[in-house]
Amino acid sequence: MSDGAAVAGPDGRPRCPWGLSAEDYLAYHDEEWGRPVHGDDALFERLCLEAFQSGLSWITILRRRETFRTAFASFGIAAVAEFTDTDRERLLADPGIIRNRAKVDATLANARVLADWSAGELDELIWSYAPDPPLPAPRTTADIPAITDASTALAKALKKRGVRFVGPTTAYALMQACGLVNDHLADCAARTGALTVQGRPGPQRPT
């Protein structure tokens, strides 16, 4: 794994090395990461979780995701926008999530901002920053950027609209996770379509 190239998984198929670095990552890599995510609430969840991940490892968030969903009403924008000070104190006392005051406050504030948007507006805004044409397929993990011009622009656009706690790095992680970019390595089975979920091929983009 040291060179950052694709590595054979337990079924012999090559995968991005990070997808094999912990048992929890395997299903996430194979079934979620890089697959297109649409819908305001679904994207709000990913935006919130990426913000909570800032400064931490993603596996810390992944292992707590169901607890996050319970604590934040499944990340329904309308529901979270109605959270009260009592809810805020509940969240800050919940050991099952990340009890970071700034991140909790940003999540609640962002829900209130987004609740005033039209249906589909968050989805449309985020997906308008998907690169066209798609980015070249990375050969190794060293080829994958932390930020791009598109992620910088997306972060600026969200901030301009009042969304907090989203910078270019968080925006790019969101783009990767939600399929705006396909950063599975060129030889990864998820990119080539050798992995499937419920009969559907994995994400594929021109290489």
Annotation: binding site for Zn(2+):
16, 29, 184, 188
Catalytic residue among 28, 31, 82, 127: 28
Q: Helices then strands (H, E): number in the chain?
A: 11, 4
Residue 180 CA, distance from chain mean position: 10
Residue pair 97/77 in contact by the 8 Å Cβ criterion: no
Q: Is 49 in a helix, a strand, or coil?
A: helix
45 is catalytic: no
User: Would you say 49 and 68 are in contact if contact means Cβ atoms under 8 Å apart?
Assistant: yes
Q: Which residues are annotated as a binding site?
A: 16, 29, 184, 188
- Known catalytic residue at 58: yes
**Residue 127 known to be catalytic:** no
Place of tokens 């990913």: 46
Q: Which of 18, 25, 33, 58 is catalytic?
A: 58
Catalytic residue selected from 18, 25, 50, 129:
50
- Residue 187: closest CA among 2, 1, 7: 7
Catalytic residue numbers, as ranges: 28, 50, 58
